[in-house]
Structure 1
């Protein structure tokens, strides 16, 4: 029996009635109703095509045939509780281990990045027998209560900061404490972590972990300065803690040059890595990987850990198919080539439009920061929002991030191509240019530096 379908207005009305209103839609004033997708493209109910620049979940492309076929074949054969013995989970763990440093060799499969980060928190606290956690400012690690508590992006809007949570500055060399002109921003920002540790110790408390995204995303598509994680890990481990790297947004070759974004930091290996969004190409699949020593301490607590659906045969079959596609289609190479071209085009856009304050990123993880004044680096939040809405009219889907929501982010499916990159930049240029452009439209004093 075919599923029932509704007109767009009916679907929207039903959603508003039946679905919690805190579950917000993209383009809430005029949502796009997507009924199918393929590769990097989305199609609405009228078969109008949209270019998807933000679905980092659909890592190898929407509805990739190899992934959907693997899912269907395994679903027809078996899908059961992960506590039954099955080949897929060990085959998948073996494949993942080949991408990681040797000491990261014990895997726990779960269903979401939030579950992964919650488990990582438990692992760190059990291993160290300490409670306190250091996180970076503006960080977001998931929607579970434990993770809201360690996500400044969320807890500052809710109950506030817990006494066992400590916030270190975001290592943002564009608008942070130490900027691009600093001789060694990586070490300078790592020293701020040491300052936090010293403050924690002065209060008679102990650190269990530093949680850090390899490339802070909600913080504004930040590229960590070289040496930061290596030195921060040294300070945290000296204090008896561990370093947890969150790769939920950035893993599986998105940066192009490496399979994991933390590998961009020289001479660095984390103690725990969490991964999620891209693993299942839209299927709920996530993971925590750690060392034998940390895993052993978790086992020694005497409490069994199990996850009913984590690592089930269908999930692992999908995960294996995703790894195959990344390799067979050279998606890391594509991320390197297309990402470099997109970054170059965005940089040239900045030479033309003063409202472009910064272009940063690597591979297919890029950010375009808009400012009303380059010298003061005043966030152009309203302009960024307008660009997003205008691009929607051009059938291009993007969104914003950063503490001021003025960073247009690009995290498209990894099959994003050169023509897609050129189309996006062409449309942004058009939106910012001429008498019908945004700069002309706003006509407010702070926007005096716009070139129109």
Structure 2
């Protein structure tokens, strides 16, 4: 048997109670896409349609989506779909021709940022946006040293994968990358995190490497979701700037109102980054992303390098992104994230009084991280059972954190109080079983 055949057989054998049709689909997937891709859940879900907070499988069964922040304003939102189709039917080209759409969007988006951040560069993905931020930081500072948290995820380009330790040991860190512990624990969180950043700066300098930037996902989603107290990021930003580097806020996960308290995660910390990367929820499923930048930071890069992206900022992408921004505003989704997120957190805390396996909850708006523990210690095995149990109850969720014991809860921003009740009922049922 060929290596591919062996891989397909092993892959199908390990995928739970699949129907014959889905086993064939898994085998076909492995043959066509190769071994690097992964599927969610012990028994994968064969989805064919989405609407709002619901996803539907091939048999018409509905699954509550409490995980996908890509469809930030709800799956297949009619206003967004209409804008995409309308523009695609008229004109679809890049930014080297004069066209209103990308300028209309840039001006509308930048109005939601502090005036210091007044340039927007468009890309297709958050990975591309962070890769561009890397290039600009190097050009502006003359440095090559970057600091990230120890289970961060910032993207999949060669350089940015080297700044994404959550990808695992099979993806080596960049030579000039240093890791710092995520901001967690008791005491002065801001001072402790800043001390870790300063130690990384000192280590870079000790090795003759000039610091370029501190990259931070402002809710530390891959590290396990760390959001409080508001303001704790300021000392770390001050430390990297004192060393001649930049502070880059990765808002791919928390951006566009998800925290409920502000449009962007960095605003909770009373600081203004040097660059802000945007992605996933920006297009509600359409591949559009961007980088918002201080003009003085972009100057050196812009004077020496041309930037062009065939699809970044094309007319269809701009129209789609504008429609998403309009929905966030017109449907008051930031307020919804605040109100519904608070009820969600309260419901989880209520369950914790009855289930010892529910440890610390960290939450802001519709971004929640729930620790799963056994005998007071992180338990990835139990977490996996809960994730798969919820899948069987037709609720979609995932886990995060370096010990894979944190339930990552980040539903579309249109999540309702009724959806919270549906989740909590299913969650309680799964907890009683496991």
Q: Same fold (TM over 0.5)?
A: yes
Rounded Cα–Cα distance in structure 1 between residues aligned with 2:64 and 2:173: 39
Judge conservation of contact 2:190–2:234 (CA < 8 Å) in 1: no
Q: Verify: 1:276 aligned to 2:279, yes or no.
A: yes
Task: Could you tell me which runs of 5 or more consecutive residues in structure 2 were left unpaired when the two chains were aligned.
Answer: 1-19
Rounded Cα–Cα distance in structure 2 between residues aligned with 1:52 and 1:114: 24
Q: Verify: 1:171 aligned to 2:171, yes or no.
A: no
Matches within 5 A, 1:4-403: 7-27=21-41, 29-154=42-167, 156-158=168-170, 160-173=172-185, 179=186, 182=187, 184-266=188-270, 268-301=271-304, 303-374=305-376, 378-403=377-402
Q: Return the TM-score normalized by structure 2.
A: 0.93
How far did residue 12 of structure 1 move? 2.5
Judge conservation of contact 2:190–2:236 (CA < 8 Å) in 1: no
SS at match of 2:216: strand
Judge conservation of contact 2:224–2:400 (CA < 8 Å) in 1: yes
Question: What is aligned with 2:406?
Answer: 407
Q: After superposition, give the CA deviation of every residue in 1:139-195 in whole Å (9 maximum; x if it has no partner).
A: 1110111011111222x512533331111111123xxxxx2xx1x221222122112
Judge conservation of contact 2:159–2:174 (CA < 8 Å) in 1: no
How far did residue 219 of structure 1 move? 0.9
Tell me the matched-pair count. Answer: 415
Q: After superposition, give the CA deviation of every residue in 1:188-236 in whole Å (9 maximum; x if it has no partner).
A: 2212211221222233321000011111111112215433321111111
How far did residue 391 of structure 1 move? 0.8
How far did residue 7 of structure 1 move? 4.6
Q: After superposition, give the CA deviation of every residue in 1:287-315 in whole Å (9 maximum; x if it has no partner).
A: 001011111111122x2110011000100
Q: Return the TM-score normalized by structure 1.
A: 0.89
Judge conservation of contact 1:172–1:223 (CA < 8 Å) in 2: no
Task: Could you tell me which runs of 5 or more consecutive residues in structure 1 were left unpaired when the two chains were aligned.
Answer: 1-5, 174-178, 439-452
Rounded Cα–Cα distance in structure 2 between residues aligned with 1:203 and 1:146: 20
Judge conservation of contact 2:231–2:268 (CA < 8 Å) in 1: no
Judge conservation of contact 2:164–2:173 (CA < 8 Å) in 1: no
Judge conservation of contact 1:222–1:360 (CA < 8 Å) in 2: yes
Judge conservation of contact 1:140–1:153 (CA < 8 Å) in 2: yes
Judge conservation of contact 1:252–1:260 (CA < 8 Å) in 2: yes
Judge conservation of contact 2:165–2:171 (CA < 8 Å) in 1: no
Structure 1 residues 189 and 225: alpha-carbon distance in aligned structure 2, compared to 1, 3 A threshold: farther
SS at match of 1:108: strand
Rounded Cα–Cα distance in structure 2 between residues aligned with 1:251 and 1:161: 26
Structure 1 residues 80 and 171: alpha-carbon distance in aligned structure 2, compared to 1, 3 A threshold: same
Rounded Cα–Cα distance in structure 2 between residues aligned with 1:162 and 1:417: 42
Judge conservation of contact 1:186–1:224 (CA < 8 Å) in 2: no
Question: What is aligned with 1:176?
Answer: none
